[in-house]
A = this chain, B = another copy of it.
């Protein structure tokens, strides 16, 4: 397997996700290096054997012998990093990432990239509500999806390598989507749901109700604890799909509202029947 030969791996950005990648890859026997501007992150990972080598800034020698480079940075920082440091990559290196938005990044990075390295985009749909390599944990991959997001510029070999990466990391499913399919899906399943959780917490100072909450309110707002720097960037970079999904959702809430003001019990029941039927279909794969 091609993947096996990419034995020197560099992780750029050693936070929760980069750290979880490092733990999994180190355990699998790869030589893992990392770059992170936070010296404590590097020290923490070196002290615990999560990485073999660590750097607080891009290191020419270390990048020059890395067969694969995994970017676990915020989207804007990722793009700027490539522009500034891509001359340091080893010829033939494969690059991938963990970024949660794709169309706005993948085409731009592939267009600016040296022709002798290849960037194959990926989105590991895993995470926690805590941050930093100190909270990294490769078990977050176990019941999660890993999305490989190729474009027409990618080679079959790079796509296969990236799929193998998702598999060896332990993801439950490895799926291939186009950047546009990815962004449409993520705008609905992840970004709209985070908008809802935020709005539910900000629409009412409900803290005095904490003692009455059952599981439904807690379930709907768990993701309202959010990293505002990362998520505001992700929302703005995926603005068009997200606005489309928000408008469709607000439209449905308005329709429910009209049923209420019109005393339209049958209208309410019809929407509840549809939601019940659709949600039941969602339960099948997990039950």
Contact = CB atoms under 8 A, between A and B. Distances in A.
Given A144-B214, A281-B207, A202 B274 contact: yes
A259 to B, nearest CB: 8
Given A196-B200, A219-B220, A253-B246, A280 B225 contact: yes
A104 interface: no
Stoichiometry, copies per complex: 2
Contact of A190 (B126, B204, B217, B222): B217
Given A210-B281, A232-B265, A196 B173 contact: no
* Chain A interface helix/strand/loop/mixed: helix
B228 A209 contact: no
A269 interface: yes
Contacts of A242: 260
Given A261-B243, A276-B226, A281-B210, A216 B193 contact: yes
A252 B216 contact: no
Interface residues of A, number: 89
A33 B275 CA distance: 36
Interface string A27-38: 000000000000
A272 B190 contact: no
13 contacts: A144-B214, A198-B256, A204-B248, A210-B285, A218-B282, A224-B278, A226-B276, A227-B272, A229-B269, A235-B268, A246-B253, A246-B260, A250-B250
Interface of A: 125-126, 144-145, 147, 173, 175, 185, 188-190, 192-207, 209-214, 216-229, 231-233, 235-236, 239, 242-243, 245-257, 260-261, 263, 265, 268-269, 271-276, 278-286
Given A145-B211, A193-B217, 18 more contacts: A144-B214, A147-B212, A188-B206, A188-B209, A196-B196, A196-B220, A199-B256, A202-B252, A202-B275, A203-B245, A203-B248, A207-B282, A210-B285, A221-B282, A224-B275, A225-B279, A226-B272, A246-B260
